[in-house]
Amino acid sequence: MIHAEHADSAVLNDLSGRVIGCAFNVLNTLGAGFLEKVYENALAIEMRATGLAIVQQHAVTVLYRDMVVANISRTSWSRTCFWSN
């Protein structure tokens, strides 16, 4: 996991730019009006095509004071430092 105080700004800026570029490519290609799953799958394809590793619907356990408060599914993970929902 990358913490902000230890993050390499150049790496994060590059990753952010690549992810945003992928999102724009998907939106410009598909347009508006589809269900979220269509965009999620298209974004995963676009991100993989640009060389990003991505896992869809990754389960995450949320802890509070060492107790599980939720088990959720995040939409997308890339390089373990980006997610969307």
- State the pairing for strand pair 67-78/54-64: antiparallel
pLDDT confidence of 54, banded at 50, 70, 90?
Answer: confident
For residue 4, with 0-12 CB atoms within 10 Å meaning exposed, 13-18 middle and 19 or more buried, which class applies?
Answer: exposed
- For 52-59, what is the mean pLDDT? 83
pLDDT score of 80 more than 80: no
pLDDT for res 76: 57
User: Residue 55: which residues within 8 A CB-CB, separation 6 or more?
Assistant: 76, 77
Rounded to two decimals, what is the model's pTM? 0.68
Per-residue pLDDT at 1: 46
